[in-house]
Amino acid sequence: MGWRKELSICFKAFNAALQTKLEYRADFVLGLTGAIGFQAASLGMLSVLLHSTELLGGWRGPEILLLFGLTALTQGLSELFFNHIWYVPLYVVRGQFDRLLTYPVSTLPFFLVTSPELHAFGNLIAGLTLFSVGAIKLGLPWTVWALLPWWAVCGCLIHTAVLTLCGALSFKIVGSYGQHYWVSNALLQASRYPLNIYPRFMQGLLLVLLPFGLINYVPASALTQRLPLALAIIAPALAAALCVSVAWTAFNHGLRYYESSGS
């Protein structure tokens, strides 16, 4: 099957899954408030930190808001389009990949798009708001808005790719709740603070090995004149391409270890 046909099937599947989710209206509202609440809680933590010290690693409050905003946007996009990745551990335990493996499409992309989460809109709204407040307070030029989708998409691909690596691990670490995903999540949350406050090994980890720093720290550093803009445009895209190819390979490799549950 050609890639265009596969893409069209994925799009239809995503659409159908989205319709299903829209049936749960009360959950949509609660999910939206919950996701915004999560962002508000992290802002609460930031306010506790800034209550103790005015500058964090030389970064002011509005500059840190750019980091928070970019992270929330990244998370929101990933949850909207690729949220199914969180379900791999459960599917492995229950043997639910049997059905998927018989479909005449590539397993990973089809699997990823078939469970969008509507609470993603909460993160998208919160992310856009936080970024906007930060950008307006800093008086950034209009060009940042043109670059925002680029960074959000690159960030979404990097974040999803790292989660996909966790998914690949789930074929080996069997357990229904996928706690190892939370390691990745914790590291993503860590990248919301300026990376220069961390020890060198953490900076290396977050800029090279699991490049969450390219989602938020590098773009925000460029916007605040700490790094060249060209680097902030090219590096996230290259990292996204590399992460996606590694994650896809790892996931397909992990699938080889899949054993049906027989239930």
- Smaller CB separation from another protein, 9 or 39: 39
Main-chain phi, psi angles of 59, to 5 degrees: -100, 135
Interface map 52-71 toward another protein (x if CB under 8 A): xx--xx--------------
204 lines the binding site for another protein (CB under 8 A): no
Query: Minimum distance between the CB of residue 111 and another protein, rounded to whole angstroms?
Result: 19
Q: Token digits for 225?
A: 């004149």
260 lines the binding site for another protein (CB under 8 A): no
Pick from 100, 190, 229, 246 the residue near another protein by CB under 8 A: 190
Which range touches another protein (CB under 8 A), out of 97-105, 133-141, 145-153, 192-200? 192-200
209 lines the binding site for another protein (CB under 8 A): no
What's the rounded Cα separation, in Å, for the pair 188 and 185? 5
Sign of CA dihedral 202, 182, 79, 174: positive
- Smaller CB separation from another protein, 24 or 145: 24
Q: Measuring CA to CA, which residue among 234, 249, 241, 71 is closest to residue 157?
A: 241
Main-chain phi, psi angles of 56, to 5 degrees: -115, 105
261 lines the binding site for another protein (CB under 8 A): no
27 lines the binding site for another protein (CB under 8 A): yes
Interface map 36-55 toward another protein (x if CB under 8 A): -xx-xxx-xx-xxx-xxx--
Q: Measuring CA to CA, which residue among 114, 113, 116, 123 is closest to residue 32?
A: 123
- Smaller CB separation from another protein, 30 or 100: 30
Q: Is 57 left (phi over 0), alpha (psi -120 to 50) or beta?
A: left
Which range touches another protein (CB under 8 A), out of 61-69, 126-134, 195-203, 242-250? 195-203
Q: How many CB atoms lie within 10 A of CB 169?
A: 18
Q: Which residues contact 76 (CB under 8 A, 6 or more apart)?
A: 35, 120, 121, 122, 123, 124, 125, 126, 127
Q: List interacting residues with another protein (CB under 8 A).
A: 24, 26-35, 37-38, 40-42, 44-45, 47-49, 51-53, 56-57, 117, 119, 173-177, 179-183, 185-187, 189-190, 193, 197-199, 202
